Amino acid sequence: MSVPSSQRGATALKAGGIGGGGRRAERQTTVSVKDLISGEAVEELQRENEEEEEREKEKRSAEEAENLRVLIVGLGNPGKEYERTRHNAGFLFVDRLAETVGVNLTYRDALQGSLGGTSVKWRKRQTDVAFLKPMTLMNLSGDSVKKACAHFGIPPENVLVVCDELEMAAGDATVKVAGAPGSHNGLKSVAHSLDSRDFPRLLLGIGRPPPKASVSDWVLNELPPRDMASLALAIEVGCEVCKRWVKDGDSTRAQKMLARKLEEKGLKSDGREGRRSNSRRGGRDSQARPQRGPSLRNSPKIRTDQERTSRDEA
């Protein structure tokens, strides 16, 4: 008597399990994919995988190379005796900015300056930010800036230089996209060393001396408490604006933001028509002996990195 096909199938399942065919099915499952294709095909797939990995590696390297790199330079004179002088407004700014982002500055002999750095992400693009305080004396600041730019591969247009400005009242500030350095010896040195005037600046007002007073003595003298408080406020606003500049690189937008925020604080972004003397503009001898003013160690929101910065004296 013949067995119905449905019963034959059931018998097969019972005898051989779910796979059916027992050992025969087991032997078939031991055949690997590699055995089903030629050796040349395997090698071709391996080459393609290696090429894909190499392309991904190159892409990552290109993305890293395309990371925006900026250098923020504060100009001033090294040494405790200069810490709170008008000419060190740039140092005070970089100290404060580095503090707000948790960066410590360390003296780098090869760069002749105190250096620190951080990285921020903005719109899926990473931005590497370096902070520099040249320790060369004001008139030679460009030497340190040039070395830092060469070391990190940063073009002049990505260098923001922060310094004092005689033609603006204490507490006023402005962003200048590019142009001549004027009479500021630190800016002159930077422009000469970079062989370019195409670098943005953040200028912090320190005011002019009284008529017939020495400009060099003025810039190397400490700010009185009231002016120091105004400068401290401008620095706080400037730090916020600087962070925005780092993120979008738009100096014009940074200037507008600075003007708006300073106005909110009762200060000016275009201090050139503000509180200033009509005395004749003089040169600035940044290496003259400073004259000490009243103690300002309790001035708000201004700290130096004297203890945070370690200097290699060797």
Contacts of 61 (CB under 8 A, 6+ apart): none
In a 3-state reduction of DSSP, which class is residue 26? helix
| pLDDT of res. 213 | 87
pLDDT tens profile 227-251: 999 999 999 999 988 888 887 777 7
pTM (2 d.p.)? 0.66
How does residue 34 score in pLDDT terms, banded at 50, 70 and 90? low
Residue 162 tokens read as 């922060």
Amino acid of residue 274: G
Q: Which of 87, 151, 184, 192 is catalytic?
A: 87
Mention every residue, 6+ apart, whose C-beta is less than 8 A from residue 10.
Answer: none
For 135, phi then psi, to 5°, come to -110, 40
Greater pLDDT, 66 or 90: 90
Which pair of tokens denotes residue 108? 């780098």
Task: Look at residue 181 in the predicted model and tell me its pLDDT.
Answer: 86
> Does the annotation count 87 as an active-site position?
yes
Q: Enumerate domains of the chain plus CATH numbers.
A: 68-273 (3.40.50.1470)
Cα–Cα distance measured from residue 35 to residue 252, given in angstroms and rounded to the nearest whole number: 66
Taking only the tens place, the pLDDT of each residue in 248-287 is 777 778 888 888 888 877 777 664 433 333 333 344 444 4
Closest CA to 277 of 193, 218, 197, 200: 218
